[in-house]
Amino acid sequence: MTLTEKLLARAAGKASVQAGDNIWVNADVLMTHDVCGPGTIGVFKREFGKTAKVWDRNRVVIIPDHYIFTADSLSNRNVDILRDFAREQGLPYFYDVIDDPSGAWKFDAAKGNLKRQFGSNYAGVCHAALPAKGHTRPGEVLFGTDSHTCMAGAFNEFATGIGNTDAGFVMGTGKLLIKVPETMRFRLEGKLQPGVMAKDIILHIIGEIGFDGATYRAMQFDGSGIATLSMDDRMTIANMAIEAGGKNGIFPFDARTAEYVNARTGLNGTKQSYEPVEADADQKFVYETVVDLSKLEPTVACHPDPGQRKTAKELSHLKLDRAYVGSCTGGKTSDFVEFARVLRGKKVVIDTFGVPATPDIVRDLQSTRWGHQTIWQILEEAGVRMTENAGCAACLGGPVDTFGRMNQGGLKCISATNRNFPGRMGSKESEVYLASPATVAASALTGRVTDPREYVGN
């Protein structure tokens, strides 16, 4: 069995499963957020009753992160719905925006977008917060009401996005009926060249198989090149399995996984024990390919879908209006480090936005010094508009007052986020080009798509 098959067999209490089997699996964690949480709670109450209790209060994790820093009253109300539910159910893992459990959330637009407006429990973008707060463990099954839930596959677990109705079902029963996907194998070999990042690996792969090339399938990333990738790198890659239509992305377990997970589980009272899965020697794949990491170049996915692959060099004629670094896939500390490495001591020539995924990342960037300056200061001095209000922000457009949203048609934005369908970051007449934080940085310096190796050297 492949990693995914093995994990699902275990979660179903079966000795073995094969692709195509419909099986009931036990969920280890169910995650929801402010966009899909209120609807999930609505389904749960409608179907299980107004006084029903969730199946296991330690396993339901609620992370407001999408439409938080907006004056839109319905969005603020949705955070309040989550708070009421968390209080009523006694959920220990609700990462509220404010500290007062009986308060109401209201964003104060008069204070502006840049300065922190959240309390001490707020955790930021759910997919980055889950591992940071100790909710991802090897060998487990994670369901989330968000398509990028697949990011947690970096930790050797089965993680996938589901809708509100399925999530309402999991909330009440702890189980879900799923079909075992076929597995596609991507064997990563070698090591990335300087200036080339994990984002380039996944953009290359999606370009190779197409935007629907992994529909209904698991994407297994293994091979000797994995050892060269940090956990952040693996998260960047697993995050975008969905952009090829994949059900999940998954990595093998190794010492790096253990180090990351062991340092974070338990901190928050989360479960510390786990049992990783290893693939069998006779695992079967529906597709197999080798990716030589040393041959990859800075890669861009052009408007209007993540499969429109070009190298950054090929696009050097393309003029841009905006640059953006942020989101689950592209707003981690390591992403901002590469962003800053290229921008240090220089000035951006187009509007450039930086949105860290979590408050912890804000703290990292504001406390890590390169010489006499913090990374945060280096970015600000380069002209990047950095916000402390960590969250999903303009990655998915959101309400019109969202920081970094493209409210005008005709704009072209290069972005370290994960999706570029029409209207993704705001106006449906705007265009998004996906690239690594290094490529976004180099492009922000020139105002056109730029290979970052011109700045970091070969």
Partner 1 sequence: MSKFTGPVYVVRDNIDTDQIIPAQFLNLVPTIAEEYEKLGSYALNGLPNALYPVRFVKDGAMDTEFPIVIAGRNFGCGSSREHAPIALGAANCECVVAESFARIYFRNCIATGEVYPIECPERLCDIFKTGDLAEVDIDAGTIRHVATGKVYSLKPLGEVRPVIDAGGIFDYARKNGMMPKAA
Interface contacts to partner 1, rule CB under 8 A: 35-36, 38-39, 41-43, 46-49, 52, 66-67, 72, 74-75, 78, 81, 144-147, 149, 161-166, 168-169, 211-212, 215-216, 242, 245, 247, 304-305, 396-400, 419, 421-424, 428-429
For partner 1, the closer of residues 128 and 348 by Cβ is: 128
Closest CB to partner 1 among residues 194, 410: 410
From the CB of 146, what's the least distance to partner 1, in Å?
6
Question: What's the closest the beta carbon of residue 378 comes to partner 1, in angstroms?
Answer: 31
The least CB distance from residue 341 to partner 1, in Å, is 31
Cis peptide before 356, with omega less than 30 degrees from 0? Answer: no
Q: What is the dihedral of CA 139, 145, 148, 153, to 10 degrees?
A: 0
Q: Which one-letter amino acid corresponds to residue 110?
A: A
Least distance to partner 1 from the beta carbon of 51, Å?
9
Residue 298 or 426: the one with the smaller Cβ distance to partner 1 is 426
What is the 3-state secondary structure of the chain?
CCHHHHHHHHHHCCCCCCCCCEEEEECCEEEECCCCHHHHHHHHHHHHCCCCCCCCCCCEEECCCCCCCCCCHHHHHHHHHHHHHHHHHCCCCECCCCCCCCCCCCCCHHHCCCCCCCCCCCCCCHHHHHHHCCCCCCCCEEEECCHHHHHHHHHCCEEEECCHHHHHHHHHHCEEEEECCEEEEEEEECCCCCCCCHHHHHHHHHHHHCCCCCCCEEEEEECHHHHHCCHHHHHHHHHHHHHHCCCEEECCCCHHHHHHHHHHCCCCCCCCCCCCCCCCCCCCCCEEEEEEHHHCCCEEECCCCCCCEEECHHHCCCECCEEEEEHHHHCCHHHHHHHHHHHCCCCCCCEEEEECCCHHHHHHHHHCEECCEEHHHHHHHCCCEECCCCCCHHHHCCCCCCCCCECCCCCEEEECCCCCCCCCCECCCCEEEECCHHHHHHHHHHCECCCCHHHHCC
- Residue count (the chain): 458
Q: Of 270 and 418, which has the nearer Cβ to partner 1?
A: 418
Q: How far is the CB of 7 from partner 1 (least distance, A)?
A: 18
Nearest approach, Cβ of residue 428 and partner 1 (Å): 5
Q: Which is nearer to partner 1, 212 or 259 (CB)?
A: 212
Strand order in the sheet with 248-250: 248-250, 217-222, 182-189, 287-292
Smaller CB separation from partner 1, 38 or 131? 38
Q: How far is the CB of 405 from partner 1 (least distance, A)?
A: 9
Nearest approach, Cβ of residue 398 and partner 1 (Å)? 6
Q: What does the radius of gyration of the chain's CA atoms come to, in whole angstroms?
A: 21
Compare residues 182 and 451 and give the one whose CB is closer to partner 1: 182
Q: Which of residues 176 and 192 has its CB atom nearest to partner 1 in the complex? A: 176
Cα–Cα distance list, 81 to 86, 102, 392, 402 (Å): 9, 11, 19, 21
Lookup result for tokens 């879900």: 176
In this complex, which beta carbon is closest to partner 1, that of residue 223 or of residue 397?
397
Please say which residue, 59 or 424, places its beta carbon nearer to partner 1. 424
Residue 36 C-beta: closest distance to partner 1, Å:
7
Minimum distance of partner 1 from residue 74's CB (angstroms):
4
For partner 1, which is the closer residue by CB, 48 or 287? 48
In whole angstroms, how close is the CB of 34 to partner 1 at the nearest point?
9
